[in-house]
């Protein structure tokens, strides 16, 4: 479960308690993402009765999401965008969009600087130093670990936002990935060759935790015929080709790709090559290293660590083993994005990094897929159905549960989410309420909750009665009690209501009751309900009190 707080300057408040059974602040439709070197979003709705409704301010309010199961902070950022809204039922709420801490780097701008033969670390330090000089302390970054292979860098910085500067001058030309790391409250920006571990610690497997899988094959980068071009021939637009060393053909082919995809011709220029033989070698290497079919995966998986069935949780930038025998998939893939729902944390939407296959790998996988399809057709006629499934011809479908078609107010569902029994509500399913509660429409039978009033010492219940207080979803409360007061003195406590039914501090609720003396005459009696929950008898001389009174919190 997740515990979410906000911070305005030094004031911290709870935005979401995480425990849905606890009567604390809650947000709705909360969903956040974690990616690699990205400004990650966190979106949610907040209603007007939330204590933090007016405490959220764009670019200023900080937001933290803590995983209470692991005690780890999984998201840190700030409120970015607020959109107030009212729906067709008249409910007022705000749509909130947040961005992660990397977005702080959009609050500053670079300046023109020229660097010659400097190190990657010095270049990162110069950019962050400029950023830190322009922003508040809570937005600053320190230089962290730098593991980029380059040793010397020539670079010119310009007047663009710092985050854009980091991507265009560091990541794109030199490679690597950015990652934020916190140590003792200090925020470090690491520039690593690759974030995370390459050793798979999790597994996504059919019939275990795999909900759905979509595989996309993108052949747009496929080259079956490459025309290598070298430097320009003097005083001409014509370029050096490989025809003189390649049997009068100015192209080279990838025979395996050609067999799979047909003729796809692309040219590539090397201005620094003027030898046909060297140009052919360069072209062959290029075709060998870059000619790939891109295969991408989109996965919906259950994070079983959230429900205690697995010790490992999906972590962005790590590798997971994806196993689906039906699609002939058994490979290690990198998780590049994870989407988490705050109220259904075990449901994870994972984006898996692209895998690039050679022509031979692609052909082998497609052959296996075809073999699997043929085997499926051959074996379908001999399949048997178990586990709530039935077979009709060559089609396997879910078996009927035995419940007749209709609308029911009470159902029984098994561990697979299948309805196994259904019935309508009976009187035994409903709570017992007094006539006053029903007649005055105080109790909402579908959403009310009730609590027991604790009676003060010396105060006893009348026979066959109870002392209780109930509340519906509109925070409309009703007190019902019939007690013997034994001539209790004025300004003394009669009973105490539970915490959930107490008025706000500073408020005093007037309660009207009826009392009966020895002659059975009834007289009006005044009581007060205080913020501490105490019901105070304001007059003396009564022995028998019947209290049926209502109030709003």
Could you tell me the domains of the chain?
2-104 (2.40.10), 110-192 (3.55.50), 202-218+294-367 (2.30.300.10), 225-291 (no CATH), 435-552 (2.60.40.1830)
Does the pLDDT of residue 239 top 50, yes or no? Answer: yes
Question: What's the pLDDT score for residue 461?
Answer: 87
CB 334 within 8 A of CB 319: yes
The Cα 527–Cα 525 span in angstroms is 7
**Side-chain half-sphere exposure of 278, counting CA atoms within 13 A:** 10
Q: Which one of 107-121, 198-212, 286-300, 368-382 scores highest in mean pLDDT?
A: 107-121
pLDDT band at 445 (very low <50, low <70, confident <90, very high): very low
Q: Which one of 272-276, 306-310, 418-422, 505-509 scores highest in mean pLDDT?
A: 272-276
**pLDDT by residue (tens digit) across 294-315?**
777 778 777 666 555 554 677 8
Q: In which region does residue 185 sit, left (phi positive, over 0), alpha (psi from -120 to 50) or beta (all else)?
A: left
Question: What's the pLDDT score for residue 38?
Answer: 93
Question: CB 434: neighbour CB atoms within 10 A?
Answer: 18
Does the pLDDT of residue 518 top 60, yes or no? Answer: no
Question: CB 75: neighbour CB atoms within 10 A?
Answer: 22
The token duo for 269 is 């220029």
pLDDT band at 443 (very low <50, low <70, confident <90, very high): very low
CB 280 within 8 A of CB 202: no
pLDDT band at 97 (very low <50, low <70, confident <90, very high): very high
Q: Which of 30-39, 172-181, 332-341 has the lowest mean pLDDT?
A: 332-341
Mean pLDDT for 68-79 is: 91
Does the pLDDT of residue 83 top 60, yes or no? Answer: yes
Does the pLDDT of residue 141 top 90, yes or no? Answer: yes
Question: What's the pLDDT score for residue 102?
Answer: 96
Mean pLDDT for 76-92 is: 92
Does the pLDDT of residue 471 top 50, yes or no? Answer: yes
Question: What's the pLDDT score for residue 192?
Answer: 94
pLDDT above 70 covers what percent of the chain? Answer: 82
Question: What's the pLDDT score for residue 442?
Answer: 42
Question: CB 146: neighbour CB atoms within 10 A?
Answer: 20
Q: Which of 131-140, 142-151, 509-518 has the lowest mean pLDDT?
A: 509-518
Task: Name all contacts of 350-353 with Cβ < 8 Å and 24+ positions apart.
Answer: 350/204, 350/298, 350/299, 350/300, 350/301, 350/314, 350/320, 351/298, 351/299, 352/296, 352/297, 352/298, 352/299, 352/320, 352/322, 353/296
Between 208 and 498, the higher pLDDT residue: 498
Question: What's the pLDDT score for residue 88?
Answer: 86
Mean pLDDT for 56-78 is: 93
pLDDT band at 444 (very low <50, low <70, confident <90, very high): very low
Does the pLDDT of residue 533 top 50, yes or no? Answer: yes
Question: What's the pLDDT score for residue 223?
Answer: 87
Question: What's the pLDDT score for residue 245?
Answer: 94
Q: Is 131 exposed, middle or buried (0-12, 13-18, 19+ CB in 10 A)?
A: buried
The Cα 209–Cα 345 span in angstroms is 14
pLDDT band at 374 (very low <50, low <70, confident <90, very high): low
Q: Is 15 exposed, middle or buried (0-12, 13-18, 19+ CB in 10 A)?
A: buried
Does the pLDDT of residue 14 top 70, yes or no? Answer: yes
Q: Are strands 92-100 and 72-86 parallel, antiparallel or unpaired?
A: antiparallel
3-class state of residue 93 by DSSP: strand
Please provide the average confidence, as pLDDT, over all residues in the chain: 82
CB 225 within 8 A of CB 264: yes
Between 289 and 271, the higher pLDDT residue: 271
CB 157 within 8 A of CB 127: yes
SS3 content of the chain, % helix, strand, coil (to 5): 20, 40, 40
Question: What's the pLDDT score for residue 35?
Answer: 92
Question: What's the pLDDT score for residue 393?
Answer: 62
CB 97 within 8 A of CB 33: no
pLDDT band at 441 (very low <50, low <70, confident <90, very high): very low
Q: Which of 66-75, 187-196, 384-393 has the lowest mean pLDDT?
A: 384-393
Between 401 and 520, the higher pLDDT residue: 401
The Cα 397–Cα 503 span in angstroms is 56
Question: What's the pLDDT score for residue 435?
Answer: 46
pTM for this model (two decimals): 0.57
**E-assigned strand segments in 150-308:** 153-157, 177-183, 186-192, 202-205, 210-218, 225-229, 252-253, 265-269, 293-302
Does the pLDDT of residue 369 top 70, yes or no? Answer: no
Taking alpha carbons only, the member of 260, 282, 225 closest to residue 361 is 260
């Amino acid at each position: 479960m997740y515990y979410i707080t906000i911070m305005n300057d030094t004031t911290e408040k709870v935005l979401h308690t995480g425990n849905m059974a606890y009567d604390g602040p809650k947000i709705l439709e909360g969903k956040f993402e974690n990616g690699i070197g990205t400004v990650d979003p966190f979106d949610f709705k907040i209603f007007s009765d939330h204590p933090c409704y007016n405490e959220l301010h764009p670019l200023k309010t900080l937001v933290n999401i803590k995983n209470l199961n692991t005690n780890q902070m999984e998201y840190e950022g700030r409120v970015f965008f607020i959109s107030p809204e009212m729906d067709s039922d008249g409910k007022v709420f705000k749509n909130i969009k947040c961005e992660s801490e990397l977005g702080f780097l959009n609050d500053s701008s670079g300046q023109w600087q020229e660097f010659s033969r400097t190190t990657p670390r010095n270049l990162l330090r110069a950019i962050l130093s400029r950023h830190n000089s322009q922003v508040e302390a809570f937005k600053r970054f320190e230089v962290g670990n730098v593991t980029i292979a380059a040793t010397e860098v020539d670079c010119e910085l310009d007047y663009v936002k710092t985050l854009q500067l980091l991507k265009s001058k560091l990541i794109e030309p030199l490679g690597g990935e950015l990652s934020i790391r916190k140590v003792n409250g200090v925020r470090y920006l690491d520039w690593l060759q690759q974030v995370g571990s390459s050793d798979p610690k999790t597994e996504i497997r059919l019939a275990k935790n795999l909900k759905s899988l979509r595989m996309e094959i993108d052949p747009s980068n496929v080259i079956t015929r490459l025309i290598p071009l070298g430097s320009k021939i003097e005083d001409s637009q014509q370029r050096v080709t490989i025809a003189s060393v390649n049997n009068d053909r100015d192209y080279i082919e990838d025979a395996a790709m050609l067999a799979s995809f047909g003729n796809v011709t692309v040219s590539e220029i090397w201005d620094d090559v003027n030898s046909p033989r060297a140009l052919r070698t360069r072209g062959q290497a290029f075709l060998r290293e870059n000619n790939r079919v891109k295969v991408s995966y989109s996965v919906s998986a259950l994070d079983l660590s959230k429900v205690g069935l697995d010790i490992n949780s999906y972590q962005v930038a790590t590798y997971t083993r994806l196993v689906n025998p039906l699609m002939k998939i058994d490979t290690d893939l990198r998780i590049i994005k994870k989407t988490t729902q705050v109220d259904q944390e075990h449901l994870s939407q994972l984006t898996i990094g692209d895998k690039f296959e050679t022509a031979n790998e692609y052909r082998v996988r497609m052959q296996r897929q075809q073999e699997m399809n043929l085997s499926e057709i051959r074996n379908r006629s001999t399949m048997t159905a178990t586990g709530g499934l039935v077979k009709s011809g060559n089609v396997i479908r879910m078996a009927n549960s035995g419940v007749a078609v209709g609308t029911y107010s009470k159902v029984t569902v098994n561990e697979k989410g299948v309805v196994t029994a259904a019935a309508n509500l009976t009187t035994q399913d409903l709570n017992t309420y007094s006539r006053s509660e029903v007649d005055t429409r105080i109790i909402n039978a579908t959403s009310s909750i009730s609590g027991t009033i604790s009676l003060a010492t010396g105060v006893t219940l009348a026979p066959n009665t109870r002392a209780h207080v109930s509340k519906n979803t509109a925070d409309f409360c009703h007190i019902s009690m019939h007690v013997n007061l034994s001539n209790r003195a004025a300004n003394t406590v009669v009973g105490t209501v539970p915490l959930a039914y107490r008025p706000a501090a500073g408020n005093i609720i007037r309660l009207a009751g009826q009392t009966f003396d020895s002659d059975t005459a009834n007289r009006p009696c005044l009581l007060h309900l205080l913020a501490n929950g105490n019901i105070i008898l304001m007059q003396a001389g009564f022995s028998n009190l019947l209290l049926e009174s209502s109030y709003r919190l």
